[in-house]
C-alpha cells in the first residue's frame, strides 16, 4: 500500500479529533443533543483511520519498503517477519503511531460502553479524550511522521532493527505498557468531566473505577514484562535498574495504585472526593511526563529515543497545557466539594488513606531522584550528575515495607470505625506467628540476613497469614457468598507480597560469580557444579554466534546451557544472549563475557533463587485488578447509579 495513504489517514484523523473535542465539549456546554451524538461516529472514525495508518506501516515493514525512511532505519530484509511487525513500534515514530491508535481505541471503547451515563457527562468524557488525542495526533503529524520517504536516495537494504529489540519482549512489552499509560487518560477524562459538570459526587468514581482498574492492570503487566525482558535480554541478570525510563513507567503505576484504592473509598463511602480527582489528574500527567522523558532524550537512559529538541519541546508544551489546564479547573471547582463522612484512625478509610500517602510519597521520591539530574544541570549551568541506585533503594524499600505492614491490618478493619480491642484480639496471634516465621526461620537457616530482607519476609508472611485467615473465615459462611470484588482485592494483595517475597529472597540469596574460565574448567556455585566445555560457532538468520557449552550438575540432574555471543551483521553489533534454566524456586543464569586469551572466556555464573516470584506476583496483581471490577454491580451501571450510591452512603 502507498505510504502516503497512511499519512493522509493521519491528517484526516487529526481533523476528526478536533471535531470530537469540539462537539463533545461544546455540545455538552450548550446541551445540543445532535452534537453530542456525533461524537460516537467521530470516535469510530478516528479509530479506523489511525488503525488504517498503522496497517499501512505494518505493510511497509513486511514488504521491505525501504523508500520509507522509518522502515529503512529500523528493518532489514533478513529480519524474520514477526520482528518486522514488532519493529513498527521499535523506535519513536512508529511507537507513537501505536500510542495514538491505542488512544483512539480507548476512546472508542468508552463511547461503546458508556451509553448509560448521562448524555452531557458522557460527551464531556469523550470530548476530553478527543482533545488529548488532538495533541497526540498533532505531535505525530508535525514532528514524527513515520511515513516520510527517502527518495531518491533509497538504500538497497535497511539498517536493521537494534538487535536488543529482536526479541519476544519487544512484541509484547510496549503494547501492554501503552495500554496502561494511555488507559489512564480515561480516568483523567472522567475526572475532568466531573469537574466540568460539577457532578463531583460518588457517581463519577463508580463510573471511572472499572476503566482505571483495567488501565492499571495493563500497566502492571507492561512493567512486569519490561522487567522480565531486561532480566534475560540485557544479559546480566538484573531485573530493575532505576533507570529514568523505567521510573517513567513506574511513577504512573505508583500514582495509579493510589488512585484505584482511593476510587474505592470515594465510591463506597463518598469521601476522599477531591483527593481522588487530583490523583486521576496526577496519574495521567505522570504518563505524559514519562512520554516526555523517553522521547525528548533529556535523560541518559537505557531506552531513550533519538534526541530531537522539537519533539521534546512539543511534549513539554503539551504537558504544561494539560497539567496546567486541569489543575486550574481543579482549583476552581474542588473547593465546593464537601465531605461529611467521619471515620476513626482504626478504619478501612484511614488505612486506605495510609496506602495513598505511602504510594504518593514513593512516587514523589522516585520523581525527585529521576528529575534531580535535570534540575542540577539547569542550576549549575551544565554540571552532569547521576543519582545512584542506593538512593532509590534507601527510600523505596522502607516505604514498601510500611505498605506491607499496614496491609496486614486491613482484613481486620471495618468501615468507619473498628474497636481497638477487636483488632488487637484478632491480630496478636498472627503477628507473633509472622515474627516467628519471618525472622526465626531465616535466622536458623541462613547465617545473617540484612534487616530489609528480614523485614520483607516477616511482612510478606504477615500479609499472607492475615489474608488467608480472613478468606477462610468468609468462606465458612459460604464460598459462593464471597463477593467477586473481594477476590480481586485478595489476589492483588497476595500478588503484592509474592513480589515482595521474591525481591527479598533474590536480593539476599543470589550468588554471582564473574570468572575467567578455560575449556574443561569446572566451578562450583551455590551447590551446583558448572563445567565449561568450550565454544562452537553457529549461524543464525541475521547473525553469527559463539555458542558456549556449559554442563550443569545440580542435585543429580545434569543439563547443558548454551549462552551465546552474537554478532549482528547489519549494524555490526555484539550482543550477549544469556542462557537461563528457569525454575519455580531458582534460576540458573550463565552469560558469556568476552574471550580473554588461550581459549578462555570471561563468564558470569549466577544462581538466583525465587527471582520469578517477582513477576508471578505482578501477574496476580494484574488478575486481581481485573477481577475486582468483574463485580456484578458494575454491570448494572444504569442512569440510576447516583441513587444507588446515595443508598450506599447512608
Partner 1 sequence: MNATRRNRLLAVSFLVLGAAVTAAFVLKALNENINLFYPPDQVVDGSAPVDTRIRAGGMVETGSVLRTGGDLTVHFTLTDHAGSAFDVTYQGILPDLFREGQGILVAGKLGADGVFAADEVLAKHDENYMPPELAKLKGMPGTAPQGGMNTERSIIDPAGADAVRGNAVLEGGGR
Which residues in the 253-312 window bind partner 1 by CB under 8 A? 297, 300-308
Residues 412-471 that bind partner 1 (CB under 8 A): none
E-state strands within 219-359: none
d(CA 39, CA 469): 50
Angle at 530 between CA 528 and CA 534, to 5 degrees: 175
To the nearest 10°, the Cα dihedral for 568, 569, 571, 573?
A: 40
| Binding status of residue 560 toward partner 1 by CB under 8 A | no
| Binding status of residue 37 toward partner 1 by CB under 8 A | no
We find the least distance from the C-beta atom of residue 581 to partner 1, in angstroms, to be 20
Cis bond leading into 152, ω under 30°? yes
The correct pick among 313, 328, 331, 368 for binding partner 1 (CB under 8 A) is 368
Given the complex with partner 1, which of 187 and 347 has the nearer CB atom? 347
Per DSSP, the three-state class of 481 is: helix
| Binding status of residue 379 toward partner 1 by CB under 8 A | no
| Binding status of residue 151 toward partner 1 by CB under 8 A | no
Residues 162-201 that bind partner 1 (CB under 8 A): 162, 164-165
The correct pick among 480, 537, 556, 597 for binding partner 1 (CB under 8 A) is 597
Given the complex with partner 1, which of 303 and 333 has the nearer CB atom? 303
| b/e sequence 122-147, b meaning 16+ C-beta within 10 Å | bbbbbbbbbbbbbbbbbbbeebbbbb
To the nearest 10°, the Cα dihedral for 237, 241, 247, 250?
A: 40
Element (H, E) at 529: strand 528-539
Which residue has 505508583 as its cell numbers? 254
We find the least distance from the C-beta atom of residue 342 to partner 1, in angstroms, to be 7
In DSSP terms, which residues pair with 590 in a beta bridge?
A: 579, 605
Helices (H), 560-640: 613-627
The correct pick among 155, 450, 483, 520 for binding partner 1 (CB under 8 A) is 155
Q: Which stretch binds partner 1 (CB under 8 A): 153-161, 195-203, 315-323, 640-648?
A: 153-161
Q: 347 and 416 in contact (C-beta within 8 Å)? A: yes
Q: Return the C-alpha cell found at 149.
A: 520517504
We find the least distance from the C-beta atom of residue 631 to partner 1, in angstroms, to be 31
Residues 54-73 that bind partner 1 (CB under 8 A): 69, 72-73
To the nearest 10°, the Cα dihedral for 77, 80, 82, 87?
A: -50
Residues 489-518 that bind partner 1 (CB under 8 A): 514-516
Helix axes of 641-649 and 244-269: crossing angle, nearest 10 degrees:
80
Considering CB under 8 A, how many residues would be counted as binding partner 1? 71
| Binding status of residue 554 toward partner 1 by CB under 8 A | no
| Binding status of residue 375 toward partner 1 by CB under 8 A | no
| Binding status of residue 543 toward partner 1 by CB under 8 A | no
Cα separation values, 284 from 132, 134, 290, 446, Å: 11, 16, 10, 44
We find the least distance from the C-beta atom of residue 262 to partner 1, in angstroms, to be 17
Q: Which stretch binds partner 1 (CB under 8 A): 18-26, 117-125, 261-269, 368-376?
A: 368-376
Q: Which stretch binds partner 1 (CB under 8 A): 107-115, 218-226, 235-243, 312-320?
A: 235-243
The correct pick among 586, 604, 608, 612 for binding partner 1 (CB under 8 A) is 604
| Binding status of residue 340 toward partner 1 by CB under 8 A | no
Q: Return the C-alpha cell found at 354.
A: 495510609
Given the complex with partner 1, which of 40 and 73 has the nearer CB atom? 73
The correct pick among 63, 198, 238, 325 for binding partner 1 (CB under 8 A) is 238
Give the DSSP letter of residue 439: I
We find the least distance from the C-beta atom of residue 159 to partner 1, in angstroms, to be 4
350 Cβ contact partners less than 8 Å away, ≥ 6 residues apart = 343, 344
Given the complex with partner 1, which of 15 and 150 has the nearer CB atom? 150
| Binding status of residue 519 toward partner 1 by CB under 8 A | no
Residues 391-420 that bind partner 1 (CB under 8 A): 391, 394-395
Element (H, E) at 501: helix 484-509
| Binding status of residue 571 toward partner 1 by CB under 8 A | yes
Amino acid at each position: 500500500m502507498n505510504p502516503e495513504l497512511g499519512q493522509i489517514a493521519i491528517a484526516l484523523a487529526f481533523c476528526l479529533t478536533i471535531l470530537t473535542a469540539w462537539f463533545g465539549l461544546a455540545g455538552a456546554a450548550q446541551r445540543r443533543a445532535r452534537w453530542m451524538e456525533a461524537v460516537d461516529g467521530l470516535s469510530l472514525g478516528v479509530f479506523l483511520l489511525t488503525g488504517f495508518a498503522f496497517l499501512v506501516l505494518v505493510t511497509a515493514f513486511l514488504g521491505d519498503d525501504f523508500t520509507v525512511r522509518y522502515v529503512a532505519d529500523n528493518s532489514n530484509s533478513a529480519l524474520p517477519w514477526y520482528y518486522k511487525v514488532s519493529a513498527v513500534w521499535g523506535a519513536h515514530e512508529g511507537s507513537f503511531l501505536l500510542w495514538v491508535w491505542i488512544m483512539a481505541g480507548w476512546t472508542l471503547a468508552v463511547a461503546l460502553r458508556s451509553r448509560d451515563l448521562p448524555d452531557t457527562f458522557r460527551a464531556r468524557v469523550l470530548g476530553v479524550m478527543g482533545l488529548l488525542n488532538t495533541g497526540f495526533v498533532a505531535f505525530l503529524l508535525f514532528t514524527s511522521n513515520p511515513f516520510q520517504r527517502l527518495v531518491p536516495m533509497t538504500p538497497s537494504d535497511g539498517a536493521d532493527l537494534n538487535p536488543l529489540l529482536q526479541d519476544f519482549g519487544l512484541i509484547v512489552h510496549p503494547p501492554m505498557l501503552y495500554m496502561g499509560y494511555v488507559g489512564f487518560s480515561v480516568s483523567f477524562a472522567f475526572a475532568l468531566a466531573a469537574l466540568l459538570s460539577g457532578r463531583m459526587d460518588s457517581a463519577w468514581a463508580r463510573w471511572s473505577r472499572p476503566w482505571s482498574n483495567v488501565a492499571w492492570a495493563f500497566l502492571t503487566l507492561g512493567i512486569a514484562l519490561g522487567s522480565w525482558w531486561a532480566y534475560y535480554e540485557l544479559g546480566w541478570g538484573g531485573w530493575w535498574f532505576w533507570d529514568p525510563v523505567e521510573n517513567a513507567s513506574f511513577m504512573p503505576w505508583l500514582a495509579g495504585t493510589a488512585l484505584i484504592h482511593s476510587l474505592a473509598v470515594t465510591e463506597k463511602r463518598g469521601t476522599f472526593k477531591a483527593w481522588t480527582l487530583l490523583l486521576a489528574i496526577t496519574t495521567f500527567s505522570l504518563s505524559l511526563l514519562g512520554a516526555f522523558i523517553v522521547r525528548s532524550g533529556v535523560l541518559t537512559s537505557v531506552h531513550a529515543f533519538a534526541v530531537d529538541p522539537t519533539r521534546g519541546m512539543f511534549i513539554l508544551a503539551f504537558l504544561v497545557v494539560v497539567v496546567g489546564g486541569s489543575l486550574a479547573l481543579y482549583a476552581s471547582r474542588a473547593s465546593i466539594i464537601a465531605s461529611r463522612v467521619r471515620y476513626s484512625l482504626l478504619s478501612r478509610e484511614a488505612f486506605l488513606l495510609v496506602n495513598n500517602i505511602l504510594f504518593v510519597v514513593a512516587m514523589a521520591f522516585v520523581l525527585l531522584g529521576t528529575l534531580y539530574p535535570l534540575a542540577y544541570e539547569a542550576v549549575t549551568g551544565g554540571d552532569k550528575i547521576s543519582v545512584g541506585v542506593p538512593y532509590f533503594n534507601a527510600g523505596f524499600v522502607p516505604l514498601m515495607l510500611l505498605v506491607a505492614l499496614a496491609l496486614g491490618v486491613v482484613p481486620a478493619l471495618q468501615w468507619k470505625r473498628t474497636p481497638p480491642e477487636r483488632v488487637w484480639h484478632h491480630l496478636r496471634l498472627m503477628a507473633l506467628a509472622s515474627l516467628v516465621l519471618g525472622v526465626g526461620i531465616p535466622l536458623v537457616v541462613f547465617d545473617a540476613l540484612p534487616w530489609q530482607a528480614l523485614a520483607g519476609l516477616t511482612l510478606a508472611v504477615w500479609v499472607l497469614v492475615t489474608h488467608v485467615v480472613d478468606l477462610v473465615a468468609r468462606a465458612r459462611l459460604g464460598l459462593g457468598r464471597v463477593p467477586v470484588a473481594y477476590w480481586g482485592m485478595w489476589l492483588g494483595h497476595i500478588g503484592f507480597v509474592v513480589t515482595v517475597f521474591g525481591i527479598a529472597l533474590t536480593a539476599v540469596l543470589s550468588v554471582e560469580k564473574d570468572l575467567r574460565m578455560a575449556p574443561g574448567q569446572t566451578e562450583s556455585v551455590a551447590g551446583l557444579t558448572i563445567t565449561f566445555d568450550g565454544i562452537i560457532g553457529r549461524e543464525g538468520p541475521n547473525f553469527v554466534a559463539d555458542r558456549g557449552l556449559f554442563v550443569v550438575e545440580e542435585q543429580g540432574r545434569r543439563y547443558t546451557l548454551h549462552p551465546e555471543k552474537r554478532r549482528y551483521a547489519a549494524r555490526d553489533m555484539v550482543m550477549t544472549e544469556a542462557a537461563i534454566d528457569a525454575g519455580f524456586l531458582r534460576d540458573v543464569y550463565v552469560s558469556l563475557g568476552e574471550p580473554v586469551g588461550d581459549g578462555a572466556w570471561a563468564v558470569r555464573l549466577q544462581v538466583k533463587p525465587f527471582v520469578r516470584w517477582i513477576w508471578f506476583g505482578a501477574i496476580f496483581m494484574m488478575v486481581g485488578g481485573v477481577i475486582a471490577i468483574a463485580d456484578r454491580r458494575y454491570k448494572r451501571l444504569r442512569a440510576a447509579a447516583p441513587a444507588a450510591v446515595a443508598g450506599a452512603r447512608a
